[in-house]
Amino acid sequence: MIFAPESYSSRRDTLAFVVCLVLAVAARMSPPVIQDAVAAGITRTVLAPFLFVQRQAEVVRASRGRYVQQAAARDSTLLLALQTSGLKQENEELRRILGLSSRLRSRHVSAEVLHQALPTSGLMVVLSAGRDDGVRAAAPVVAPGGLVGVVQRASAHHSVALLWTHPDFRVSGMALNGSVFGIVAPRGSEGPGTPMLELRGVPYQQDVPPGTVIYTSGQGGGQGVYPRGIPIGTIVAVGEEEVGWSRTYVVRPAVHPASISHVVVLVGPAVDLREAFSDTVIGS
């Protein structure tokens, strides 16, 4: 490496740089409505072919995964058919393979998650389903493990989902039997791959033991955003407490956004979904 004595950057270069910075700051400071409109416009036009290609690549990858899964299921079916005593187990296995969507009573749309490279992509993602598929803003987004986030805006073919890791994310949570209620919000990170949630505002006298699974409470009824019964996570410890007033519990999330490639967007009326997630192993 040799140090060049003369300056390389001309006044024109500096001017171009400054203009770019000013435009970037203007974009950052502009109202969310304008930001959304510009982002949606670019996604709909310039990026549309690239997103189409990414979606097809995602489908190819998923198809390969499903093929392996089905081949394994076929093999296990053969083995189990030879052992009639294992038929019940086989039945359960096949039902699990059929996926979450067959268990959901609510109207829903399947979508691929089109992950991107910015470090903030763990907070918000583009989904491959949009208005034409029935997706609307404020529709809950779930994976077989539990709650993933909520649709923030939808264009014709794509939608943008705000994930539970986003600092603005909030959802009303409860224990399965409805004994404990609180607000669930993101809570920093306990390690490189372990973003956590917290259950806030639990009355001080209500003790929630570790291992308690927290579900969406469905507060708001048919007009609410989240239906009742979607797993959010599992209580792992007490976080903070205001003595005599309330406690905050640390919750291990049911789904890690970085690990999902497919989601289900709930587009129908809010119904109780506890049954649909009854065989879900939380935190796995």
Partner 1 sequence: MSQVRARQITVLLVLVTLHFVLRPFLGDVRFAPDLLLLALLVFAIQARPGEGAIAGFVVGILADSLTPVAFGAGALAHSCVGYLAAWGKAVFFAESLLVSGGFFLAGTWLRDALVLVAGRHMTDSALAWQLLWWSPLKALTTAAVGVTILIVFRRWLDVRVRG
For residue 32, what is the enclosing H or E element? helix 32-44
Q: Which is nearer to partner 1, 18 or 78 (CB)?
A: 18
- Least separation in angstroms between residue 44's CB and partner 1 is 9
User: What's the rounded Cα separation, in Å, for the pair 93 and 33?
Assistant: 47
Checking phi first, is residue 128 left (phi over 0); if not, alpha (psi -120 to 50) or beta?
Answer: alpha
Structure token digits, residue 218: 């469905």
Nearer to partner 1 by C-beta: 114 or 273?
114
Report in angstroms how near the CB of residue 188 gets to partner 1 at its nearest. 4
Q: Are 197 and 187 in contact (CB under 8 A)?
A: yes
The residue with tokens 């909520």 is 150
Q: What angle do CA 138, 187, 145 make, to 5 degrees?
A: 55
Give the nearer residue to partner 1 in terms of CB position, either 29 or 243: 29
Instruction: Give the residue with the Cβ less far from partner 1, 29 or 281.
Output: 29
The residue with tokens 């950052």 is: 28
- What is the smallest separation between the CB atom of 16 and partner 1, expressed in angstroms? 3
**Smallest separation (angstroms) from partner 1 to the CB of 20:** 4
Smallest distance from the beta carbon of 274 to partner 1, in angstroms? 30
Nearer to partner 1, 12 or 85 (CB): 12
**Region for 230 from its dihedrals, namely left if φ exceeds 0, alpha if ψ lies in -120 to 50, beta otherwise:** beta
Cβ closer to partner 1: 54 or 110? Answer: 54
In the bound complex, what is the minimum distance in angstroms from residue 6's beta carbon to partner 1?
9
Cα 121 from Cα 220, distance rounded (Å): 30
E strand or H helix that includes residue 97: helix 87-97
Given a contact cutoff of 8 angstroms between Cβ atoms, the answer to whether 270 and 218 are in contact is yes
Residue 82 or residue 117: which is nearer to partner 1 going by CB?
A: 117
Q: How far is the CB of 236 from partner 1 (least distance, A)?
A: 16
Binding footprint of partner 1 on the chain (CB under 8 A)? 1-4, 8-10, 12-17, 20-21, 23-30, 35-36, 38-40, 42-43, 46-47, 50-51, 53-54, 57-58, 60-61, 114-126, 160, 165-167, 188-192, 195, 258-259, 261
Closest to partner 1 by CB, 76 vs 121, is: 121
Give the integer Cα–Cα distance in Å for 26 and 33. Answer: 14
CA-derived radius of gyration, the chain = 23
Cα gap 122→255, rounded to integer Å: 12
Where does residue 99 fall: left (phi above 0), alpha (psi -120 to 50 degrees), or beta otherwise? left
CB of 37 to partner 1, least distance (A): 10
